[in-house]
Structure 1
């Protein structure tokens, strides 16, 4: 078995030209969709939520585009590249089921509740669901914190791929990504963002599937992959690698506690992510056929391609490059996916991959930054100063979008996270644990109260902060990432249900508005 591995290649003219053309087409499409969308919205509410007339195909593809982020398209591949088969628990296998519960549990309910409550954001929906301005403000602040952390990971993914194909300094790699995101966010609002994310979602599903299948064919099948990994390091072949520490992030690969936490992380984060659930705010009312179409679109474009892209690509990249990619201090193992595209497909495939990955990172980043801007303008300023004009809110929103793009740009430039997917995993765990209960379970349980929701937001935010220190911030780590997930999800469940049971539910008038008799019975059950 050969032990000669490829090193990081120097960018070729074909790689640079093809990638720039792909990115230019992406930017042109974003600007076009933004300009077309700008003709449709006439008020700040329509800027935030559109006209609630978007069908299941665009909604499903937009959910795919929101979910297939820099995490899925780049960061998760890096996990498998670094630790081998045991990383597939985190990187790919649970993707098959993680995103579909979002559609089952949140799609029609998000649209229904936001329309009945007259809300334009997820945060506003929560505030009005519980008749509490204080809760709405608290949720907005908590979302800002978690989405900022998550946005750093998206920006690193975009910057990593630009570095891979151009060799430009990190400053320019990241700045290009920020400029692209600001332009179409400022132009298009919710509708423009939804359409752009939908288009890139379809493209990502295609590119991810092609690259995953082609990587397996190029490697000669899993038998050859297994032989190559065994020759490098036998522990790369373990589905649960006991040689890795059972504390810190590696618990997800080395311990049954961590592995069992993985499906909980994926399901709660998929259902609880505000940038995922927000894809349903502007959706039209679905009939049964529309709902089946929505489920099929999401599963076919997000589930299978992501599993192939993350899992097989990480293994084949390790087979081809060995540990060589770990030597790069700025981007490290997050170079695995773009470098694999170069190694097996040359300039053509990496140009497609670059276009897809830039779209993946920027689409999800834009969805989060849009929410962050609305958290301040709609969910805090408009809430407490309702006389504020639409023009003032729009102008402030444009400034906030620039600010919320610059801050992760600066952090990623100065102190990039070592391993993208695991860094983002902390934000995913916090968002998922909090908003799985506060948002989605509140659609179904009539007895949920603002006290239960408040305690859950406070506990989840503090626990995630402490968990970040315990898992990432000290050496050696105090506890494992899987254990941290159980602490988060268990504590949020106790605070949500316990706080609700000891306090008064929202007004009967509101409950009658939101729940018919059949739904009330389900809530009591």
Structure 2
């Protein structure tokens, strides 16, 4: 007997109105936080990093918001919806560990190194750590490449949920969203961006936990979910497998079809949590932490980006498949990425749908804002100001305003013209490259005194080149599995980082003593 699936919901006036009002309130609060933060900076350096006094609660909420992107809040649900239980390896299990290693290994070290070196950006921190302007510039350019790829996914997530709610073209919704993001970044600088992201992180954590738990209870628990999925024609039994060996072992499906891919997933999320520049940059303006405030940071991050979000990311995809069957896959270009918003409508009606829309915009805009602010600073601080130090702060500020607008417009245009087919796979490739490179170049460099600029440079170049080749081989040619690519990235970056460093001259003893022994 075939299961009875619900029809794709039609747009209801009350849902549209309430969602528009909810998103409007959310955006208004973000602007207000930017305005309130305007008085917190006076110089270009303070615009980029504040006064290094932001507390652990706001830092923790902002860190969670930067990590829980449109991928985590929307795209990962689409993976589980598309392939079933086996997709949970890639979509949800990561949150059990989540961002906690980032706090353990990078929080205080990033803040400490940046303060000691007088650095206002992550590339500047790395460049001065290795006494290399050349490395600083190369890292800034490489970050631009990866962060631009990753930013496209944020707007696709926001556009997809807007389509699900209203049935309308996402053009005006996305335009308004990127304008709001530009406004609070320009008004508030780093501090305003951090506070806005902190508000967004707290909100999306609440919504994610609420929707995830609500959906499981509504469905009757995992036994009922599994039973309904098993009844689906043709693919039912496969949907409840924890590994699907019948899927190809090359391309993205390797993450669900073989042990090579499944074992690669914790490595992917461990390295990217620590290596994401937009994560680690949340610590640049953080105040000094004592033991109590450090554990406050850890607790806040886990409450937002821990097990509740795992439930939201993974179980929601299963419940959506139980409700709608495979019919969402036929709605292009959104396809499986519509699973989460339609699920919210099915299990909670207009109230839950409105909260979900607001949470999704919080997830997408917070990560987008964190990345775009970094991208702008990469050009102004890590290229122009670095090589032409006499450029005035006023010129840098105005150029920064323009670059923020540019880096918001480019992914907006790409999303409208040619959005990626499956959000989490596209963004996953960018995440793998960022994680493999910057896990070593940032986190390991905080602890290993012998690391050199040549080891870091070799890691950056190899990781970038392998990511470009891997994207082509995984997505276009389908001759390499996504899990295999991750092993190539991490092992290759690690071998080059350590081997080249051991073969080349380390930084000066004075610098090493300053970073590893002196107090800030």
**TM value normalised by structure 2:** 0.98
Taking the TM superposition and a 5 Å limit, the aligned residue runs for 1:208-223 are 208-223=208-223
CA RMSD, aligned part only? Answer: 1.1
Q: Is the 8 A contact 1:212 1:312 kept in 2?
A: yes
1:40 deviates by: 1.0
Aligned mates of 1:13, 1:188 — CA distance in 2: 35
Match of 1:252 in 2: 255
In the alignment, does 2:477 pair up with 1:483? no
1:15 deviates by: 1.1
Could you list the runs of 4 or more consecutive aligned residues of structure 1 that deviate by over 4 angstroms after TM superposition?
A: none
Taking the TM superposition and a 5 Å limit, the aligned residue runs for 1:73-472 are 73-232=73-232, 233-472=236-475
Deviations 1:198-222 (A, max 9, x none): 1111111111111011101111111
Deviations 1:145-192 (A, max 9, x none): 000000001110011111111111143343232222212111111111
Q: Is the 8 A contact 2:229 2:239 kept in 1?
A: yes
Match of 1:503 in 2: 504
**SS of alignment partner, residue 231 of structure 2:** helix
Match of 1:41 in 2: 41
**SS of alignment partner, residue 313 of structure 1:** helix
1:8 deviates by: 2.4
Q: Tell me how many residue pairs correspond in the alignment.
A: 516
Match of 1:11 in 2: 11
Aligned mates of 2:489, 2:54 — CA distance in 1: 35
1:95 deviates by: 1.2
**TM value normalised by structure 1:** 0.97
In the alignment, does 2:513 pair up with 1:512? yes
Deviations 1:238-268 (A, max 9, x none): 0011121111000000000000000000000
Aligned mates of 1:382, 1:42 — CA distance in 2: 17
Aligned mates of 1:325, 1:68 — CA distance in 2: 23
Q: Is the 8 A contact 2:66 2:366 kept in 1?
A: yes
Aligned mates of 2:168, 2:399 — CA distance in 1: 33
**SS of alignment partner, residue 498 of structure 2:** helix
Aligned mates of 1:202, 1:208 — CA distance in 2: 10
**SS of alignment partner, residue 40 of structure 2:** coil
Deviations 1:264-301 (A, max 9, x none): 00000000000000111111100011111111111111
**SS of alignment partner, residue 271 of structure 1:** helix
Q: Is the 8 A contact 1:159 1:177 kept in 2?
A: no
Residues 308 and 451 from structure 1, CA distance in 2 versus in 1: closer, same or farther, beyond 3 angstroms? same
More divergent stretch after superposition (42-51 vs 170-179): 170-179
Aligned mates of 1:346, 1:371 — CA distance in 2: 38
Aligned mates of 2:229, 2:5 — CA distance in 1: 12
Aligned mates of 1:490, 1:15 — CA distance in 2: 49
**SS of alignment partner, residue 94 of structure 1:** helix
Q: Is the 8 A contact 1:61 1:298 kept in 2?
A: yes
1:6 deviates by: 2.1
Q: Is the 8 A contact 2:262 2:483 kept in 1?
A: yes
Aligned mates of 1:305, 1:397 — CA distance in 2: 37
Deviations 1:372-398 (A, max 9, x none): 000000010000011111110110011
Match of 2:69 in 1: 69
1:2 deviates by: 5.3
More divergent stretch after superposition (152-161 vs 508-517): 508-517
Aligned mates of 2:36, 2:409 — CA distance in 1: 26
More divergent stretch after superposition (177-186 vs 381-390): 177-186
1:517 deviates by: 8.8
1:7 deviates by: 2.9
Q: Is the 8 A contact 2:98 2:305 kept in 1?
A: no
Question: Structure 1: where are the runs of 5+ without partners?
Answer: 519-525
Deviations 1:31-84 (A, max 9, x none): 111111111100111111111111111111111111111011000000000000
1:223 deviates by: 1.0
Aligned mates of 1:103, 1:182 — CA distance in 2: 28
1:228 deviates by: 0.6
Q: Is the 8 A contact 2:458 2:497 kept in 1?
A: yes
